[in-house]
Chain A
């Protein structure tokens, strides 16, 4: 992926701190998190449960106001949710009264995009997600994998700068999950969106990401941030090739150890 580097392009988190509660029950959940997310990056965020990954995502999305620090997108402060930052939840969270196609269309309807353009984009995303034959079905008539694909399509349809995904595949069975991972990577290649992908699954992070971030709890902070050497360079390496590469198991062990708080060298 080639893109022009501009100084204020991308998503900038500057000194983010977050404290829950007051007085005795005060709890610092995030401390001084500063990150620059470039357009076209696939950032996987790893970390033990409770280290503040979801909190960080909520701040990025604009659902939560940080106690300290700012979020800037392409030079503009970002303080409340808007279609510039797409969010995919753990549960697909589709609107149950709308058909799949209407769900995908929803964001564009909110932005008053013309009907012809909407129809065109809905058709495009239905095809991209392999959901053409299910366009008229209601969410409760879909399988978990289909729902999550529809949720991703719905988010992409508003053409966000960045897509935040909070463990989007963790509720799916192993086979469906692998399919979804392949699918997501294909979509990332096609759309070139910046992805901010929270996961518990080290393998998933290694297979998909172009950049790996590890967080530690108490207080939540970034302790590791590096380009994923496994996906660097190669245009579209197959999962099998990544898994069988020499570095794979070493990186995997390293990340697992880092998530546990043990320091090892790469």
Chain B
């Protein structure tokens, strides 16, 4: 009996029992996926219902068309703007201008806040030096210090990019600090025992360990910067999607205003989708 178990066990165990668990997990996920589609269908139906309500309200004159233009009017405004642009610039140009500001700021914030945050997470002294400044400006509404930035840099892209940079910096920095502090000591110790030290420990272990959380932080940062961007373009700009909406409002072009707002929303959704797919790509193990 005993020698029997021995003989079985001596065969190096390969895939037999090992494969069982993932297969079962997959079956479970199958049920979840079909449910997921059901909810998506419900969301789509709800969206269609509101569109229909909009169409009825505008067509049957329930609401003044200045407040609520017909969906068709917005659509034809869209076609017009696509063809002729708005105030001397194409629609793509306006969107491009806004996106350039946003991405420059986010890239700069990621490239600075993440290394600084990681170091502050590892070295308490460094954090003590940096913390007061972060804590001071973080709760401020960005538009409050935008006035200062305009004073220094004028109504330029520089002041806007700086504004968005500051807005994105704090959430990224804080995410980096906390996710580094939460790293398990075993992770670091194990890596050091394998010969990782100095910058290699940061580049090959600490950074990839916190990357999923950093991308989640980036999602927050994008939200903050995007809101700030639109507001800043409304306060002081001569181009960009936020400016387009504000400018249209001066001429009571509600069709253009609706169009601009819908485009803003679609852009935000698209950016979020990209980041979420990025998170899924870099950290498939956090799925379950």
Q: A96-B285, A240-B3 are in contact. Are A87 and B18 (CB under 8 A)?
A: no
A121 at the interface (CB under 8 A from B): no
Q: How large is the interface on A (under 10, 10 to 19, 20 to 34, 35 or more residues)?
A: 35 or more
Q: How far is the CA of A125 from the CA of B14 in the complex (A)?
A: 14
Over the window 3-14 of chain B, the binary record of Cβ atoms lying under 8 Å from chain A Cβ atoms (1 yes, 0 no) is 101100110111
Q: How far is the CA of A85 from the CA of B195 in the complex (A)?
A: 10
Q: Nearest A residue to B184 by beta-carbon distance?
A: A93
Determine the chain B residues whose CB is within 8 A of the CB of A91 once the complex forms.
186
Q: Nearest B residue to A143 by beta-carbon distance?
A: B18
Residue among A80, A155, A239 with the most chain B CB within 10 A? A239
B204 at the interface (CB under 8 A from A): yes
Q: Nearest A residue to B2 by beta-carbon distance?
A: A240
Chain A nearest CB, measured from B188 CB (Å): 9
B269 at the interface (CB under 8 A from A): no
> Quick check: B18 and A158 within 8 Å, CB to CB?
no
> Quick check: A61 and B13 within 8 Å, CB to CB?
no
Chain A nearest CB, measured from B78 CB (Å): 43
Residue among B9, B22, B285 with the most chain A CB within 10 A? B9
A184 at the interface (CB under 8 A from B): no
A73 at the interface (CB under 8 A from B): no
Q: How far is the CA of A50 from the CA of B193 in the complex (A)?
A: 24
B200 at the interface (CB under 8 A from A): yes
Q: How far is the CA of A96 from the CA of B194 in the complex (A)?
A: 16
Chain B nearest CB, measured from A240 CB (Å): 5
Q: How far is the CA of A162 from the CA of B249 in the complex (A)?
A: 74
Does more than half of chain B's interface fall in helix, strand or loop, or is it mixed? Answer: helix
> Quick check: A107 and B12 within 8 Å, CB to CB?
no
A226 at the interface (CB under 8 A from B): no
Over the window 179-190 of chain B, the binary record of Cβ atoms lying under 8 Å from chain A Cβ atoms (1 yes, 0 no) is 000001111011
Interface of chain A residues 114 through 154 with chain B (CB within 8 A): 130, 133-134, 138-143, 145-146, 154
Contact of A97 among B10, B18, B192, B283 (CB under 8 A): B283
A188 at the interface (CB under 8 A from B): no
Determine the chain B residues whose CB is within 8 A of the CB of A80 once the complex forms.
192
Interface of chain B residues 154 through 211 with chain A (CB within 8 A): 184-187, 189-197, 200, 204-205, 208-209, 211
B17 at the interface (CB under 8 A from A): yes
Chain A nearest CB, measured from B260 CB (Å): 40
Q: A130-B13, A143-B18 are in contact. Are A83 and B193 (CB under 8 A)?
A: yes
Contact of A240 among B6, B12, B186, B283 (CB under 8 A): B6
> Quick check: B282 and A89 within 8 Å, CB to CB?
no
5 additional contacts (CB under 8 A) given A62-B193, A86-B193, A183-B12: A89-B186, A97-B285, A110-B204, A134-B18, A239-B9
By a beta-carbon cutoff of 8 Å, the part of chain A in contact with chain B is 61-63, 80-83, 85-87, 89, 91, 93, 95-97, 106-107, 109-111, 130, 133-134, 138-143, 145-146, 154-155, 158, 175-176, 178-179, 182-183, 238-240, 243-244
Listed A/B pairs (7) with beta-carbon separation below 8 Å? A82-B193, A97-B285, A110-B204, A155-B193, A158-B194, A179-B13, A240-B3
